[in-house]
């Protein structure tokens, strides 16, 4: 094992250069104009697998969606098998003017690599490719069978992947699924995430009069759709931060006493959090701490709102239409389907007759809760300790990786969420970056995991 770690340490510079090449590909999944870049990113990965002597390298969904890349390296059918999952797609870059260096021209500053996708998820995903390579290239036997499944649609809700997993159940058969697409509790504390929130995302269109109206001639006589929308949205949450949609909390799995105590022990500083975010006060559901609110309680956010006149100067107008994008983070055991039904029932009751509305469901994903009492998690904790020099903490997180549930359900394998990112690394915002020290430790951690898991399983 020492040789493998040695190999990783002396090849770090090369790994960083390769990661830069990967980061240069603008694989924004939501942008139809980037279709060819998606293929380029998939081909980049496939060429890396091919250089490592992987077998069965292919795209599992040649006919629809951005390519899902698959590759495997079999050493011995008697040895256990790990399936690594990650995503090569990234979020859009706007507002572009706020980036210090261009999003697809990776740069190293302050021991970090700066580019869109650096921490979410290209950099984290790449740790696993390089840990496997370190075994192969240093001449140490790869201790177990390795499979990779890497998608390009995670940031748009993984529309193709559930079907791909179901259709390839045998191909993907494994003893454990390892995913590095989450964060560490803080820069000093390695972490294993055991729960993620789900998501239900909607767009609402409110229509008032059949055309834009002069606000003098008609003002005071008809409901303004923007007003109706604002009333509707503000009525969805009360002043205690509780969501008012009837039935919304019915399926929410309460936090256990042990969890609440565990969260408290993390000594989360609300003061430092406020300072980092530039706010003077926090707001959330009454009766819960910030960690509880973001990790284990559902929430509703307005992601965007528009309508009427927003150009220069003034225009006296009552618009015909108003729009909003709203999303709800869900926790176990809520489901996007049930929440959609509840929202529909709510809208049919509260939207006034003076306007009409249309609701569109954009995407969703189930929350995940992964058992932590198994050898996969114990081995992951040991690997983290070896790589980071410190016991990991067990945390939940507020973000979503919709496919996690499908892996558990369809492949019946434990899922391990090994996070090497940091919540301060600007994922989804300008100046995304990834700490190179954590990149390095992440590669080591992955190598330790392969070595240890092959011995306990």
Toward ligand BES, which CB reaches closer, 142 or 401? 401
Residue choice 133, 154, 292, 406 for contact with ligand BES (CB under 6 A): 154
Say which residue the tokens 């992955």 belong to: 446
Annotated active-site residue 212? The verdict is no
332 binds ligand BES (CB under 6 A): no
Active-site residue, from 120, 121, 133, 154: 154
Residue choice 123, 190, 392, 402 for contact with ligand BES (CB under 6 A): 402
Beta-bridge partner residues of 433: 114
Annotated active-site residue 141? The verdict is no
183 binds ligand BES (CB under 6 A): yes
Q: Are the C-beta atoms of residues 457 and 80 closer than 8 Å to each other?
A: yes
Beta carbon of residue 441, minimum distance to ligand BES (angstroms, whole number): 18
292 binds ligand BES (CB under 6 A): no
Q: Are the C-beta atoms of residues 291 and 265 closer than 8 Å to each other?
A: no
Active-site residue, from 37, 72, 89, 366: 89
Identify residues 112-151 at the interface with ligand BES (CB under 6 A). Answer: 120-121
What residue 61 binds from ligand BES, Mn ion, none (CB within 5 to 8 A, per partner kind)? none
Beta-bridge partner residues of 145: 81
Q: How many residues bind ligand BES (CB under 6 A)?
A: 17
**Sequence-separated (6 or more) residues with CB below 8 Å from residue 317:** 212, 213, 214, 215, 308, 309
**How many Å is the Cα radius of gyration of the chain?**
24
Separation between Cα atoms, residue 194 and residue 417, nearest integer Å: 7
Toward Mn ion, which CB reaches closer, 248 or 420? 420
**Sequence-separated (6 or more) residues with CB below 8 Å from residue 369:** 194, 195, 253, 332
How would you classify residue 109: left for phi > 0, otherwise alpha for psi between -120 and 50, otherwise beta? beta
Using the rule CB under 6 A, give the single segment among 16-24, 159-167, 181-189, 213-221 that binds ligand BES.
Answer: 181-189
438 binds ligand BES (CB under 6 A): no
- The token duo for 152 is 């390009």
- The token duo for 132 is 């496997």
Toward ligand BES, which CB reaches closer, 260 or 363? 363
199 binds ligand BES (CB under 6 A): yes
**Sequence-separated (6 or more) residues with CB below 8 Å from residue 431:** 98, 99, 100, 114
Catalytic residue IDs: 89, 154
Query: Which residues contact ligand BES by CB under 6 A?
Result: 120-121, 154-155, 157, 181-183, 196, 199, 363, 365, 397, 399-402
């Amino acid at each position: 094992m020492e040789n493998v770690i040695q190999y990783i340490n002396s090849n770090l510079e090369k790994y960083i250069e390769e990661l830069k090449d990967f980061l240069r590909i603008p694989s924004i999944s939501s942008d139809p104009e980037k279709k060819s870049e998606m293929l380029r990113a998939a081909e980049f990965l496939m060429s890396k697998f091919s250089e490592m002597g992987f077998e069965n390298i292919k795209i599992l969904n040649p006919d629809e969606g951005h390519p899902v890349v698959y590759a495997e390296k079999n050493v011995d059918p008697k040895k256990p098998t790990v399936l690594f999952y990650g995503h090569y797609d990234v979020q859009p870059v706007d507002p572009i003017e706020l980036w210090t260096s261009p999003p697809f021209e990776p740069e190293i500053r302050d021991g970090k690599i700066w580019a869109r996708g650096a921490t979410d998820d290209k950099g984290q995903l790449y740790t696993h490719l390089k840990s496997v390579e370190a075994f192969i290239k240093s001449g140490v036997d790869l201790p177990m069978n390795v499979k990779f499944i890497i998608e390009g649609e995670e940031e748009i809700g993984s529309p193709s992947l559930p079907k791909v997993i179901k259709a390839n159940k045998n191909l993907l058969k494994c003893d454990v699924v390892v995913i590095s697409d989450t964060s560490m509790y803080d820069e000093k504390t390695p972490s294993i995430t055991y729960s993620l929130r789900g998501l239900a995302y909607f767009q609402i269109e409110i229509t008032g009069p059949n055309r834009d109206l002069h606000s003098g001639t008609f003002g005071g006589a008809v409901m303004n759709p923007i007003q109706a929308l604002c009333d509707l949205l503000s009525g969805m949450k009360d002043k205690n931060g509780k969501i008012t949609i009837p039935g919304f909390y019915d399926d929410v799995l309460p936090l256990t006493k042990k969890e609440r105590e565990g969260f408290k022990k993390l000594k989360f500083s609300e003061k430092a959090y406020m300072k980092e975010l530039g706010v003077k006060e926090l707001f959330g559901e009454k009766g819960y701490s910030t960690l509880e609110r973001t990790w284990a309680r559902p929430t509703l956010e307005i992601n965007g709102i528009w309508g009427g006149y927003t150009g220069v100067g003034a225009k006296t107008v009552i618009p015909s239409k108003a729009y909003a994008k709203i999303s709800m983070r869900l926790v176990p055991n809520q489901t996007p389907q049930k929440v959609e039904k509840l929202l529909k029932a709510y809208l049919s009751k509260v939207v006034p007759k003076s306007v009409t509305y249309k609701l569109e469901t954009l995407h969703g994903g189930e929350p995940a809760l992964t058992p932590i009492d198994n050898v996969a998690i114990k081995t992951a904790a040991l690997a983290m300790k070896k790589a980071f020099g410190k016991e990991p903490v067990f945390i939940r997180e507020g973000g979503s990786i919709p496919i996690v549930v499908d892996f558990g359900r369809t492949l019946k394998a434990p899922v391990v969420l090994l996070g090497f990112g940091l919540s301060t690394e600007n994922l989804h915002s300008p100046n995304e970056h990834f700490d190179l020290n954590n990149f390095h430790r992440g590669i080591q951690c992955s190598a330790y995991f392969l070595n240890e898991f092959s011995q306990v399983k």
